[in-house]
Structure 1
């Protein structure tokens, strides 16, 4: 039996206090840059998905209390080329947005089977570089979200 991906995922925006944002280049699509993303596994809480994907894709471990749940989700159509990963007939995914602030100079160890490279960019430049509209929109909201979290 084929194990299909669940059409529920997380987007984790990793940033420094001065809003430098970590972007990862997809191994399967050179030139496609994104924040940390990944699908929820059965029985897994969304925050646990975010922390697992963060560790798998970047080598960054964070305590659950450091992760900020934006209480925001996006529903989007799954690219046709990636639909084979999902059960037949599944064409939409719901993505839940989180962020994590890390110290400047945070070490990153990418998963070579998932990513080719990484970079740190100012939030507005990172937003321009993302291929995903939902990732771009989250990055454009980052200054306001960080300001609200600090109040």
Structure 2
């Protein structure tokens, strides 16, 4: 008997990694060269806490252990619902066409060099937030980066 196929859960995180001076880390997808993005990834199981999904994806995609790197992960309490690109729908159960993406910010104390998985990403770059927004291939990712100054200012006034 064959095991049931394992499909991606259509609920994911987007983690905007940035420095206090609002430089943003972008990584280039290996499966689509020229597609630059922040860290993204789906829940491993339906009851995985979103913050844990964010920590896991950051570690998998950049090698950054948030606590060891002195980072601060913040849930921006934003969610984007979008149509899954047709060329990626085969990863989801039949009939699934939409994904809910939860946005997080990760402030690191400064620019760090990530360790990329070559099967997932080809290159990385740190850019000022407005330039990073222009480079993102995903409209929801670009919009999240454009929100960075607002969330960064809010985090500096929160006790």
What TM-score range do you get, normalising by the shorter chain?
Answer: over 0.9
Pairing 1:104–2:110 present: yes
Pairing 1:74–2:77 present: no
Q: 1:144: how far off?
A: 0.8
Q: Distance in 1 between matches of 2:104 and 2:13?
A: 7
User: What is aligned with 2:17?
Assistant: 14
Q: 1:111: how far off?
A: 1.2
User: What is aligned with 1:57?
Assistant: 61
Pairing 1:28–2:31 present: yes
Q: CA RMSD in A?
A: 1.3
Q: 1:106: how far off?
A: 1.3
Q: 1:103: how far off?
A: 2.2
CA-to-aligned-CA distance 1:34-54 (integer Å, 9 cap, x gap): 000000111310000000000
TM-score, normalization by structure 2: 0.92
Aligned partners of 1:15 and 1:22 also within 8 Å: yes
User: What is aligned with 1:45?
Assistant: 49
Deviating beyond 6 angstroms after TM superposition, the runs of 4 or more aligned structure 1 residues are none
Aligned partners of 1:60 and 1:107 also within 8 Å: no
Q: Distance in 2 between matches of 1:115 and 1:107?
A: 14
Of the three residues 132, 135, 142, the one matched with 1:129 is 135
Gaps of 5+ in 1: none
Aligned partners of 1:75 and 1:92 also within 8 Å: yes
Gaps of 5+ in 2: none
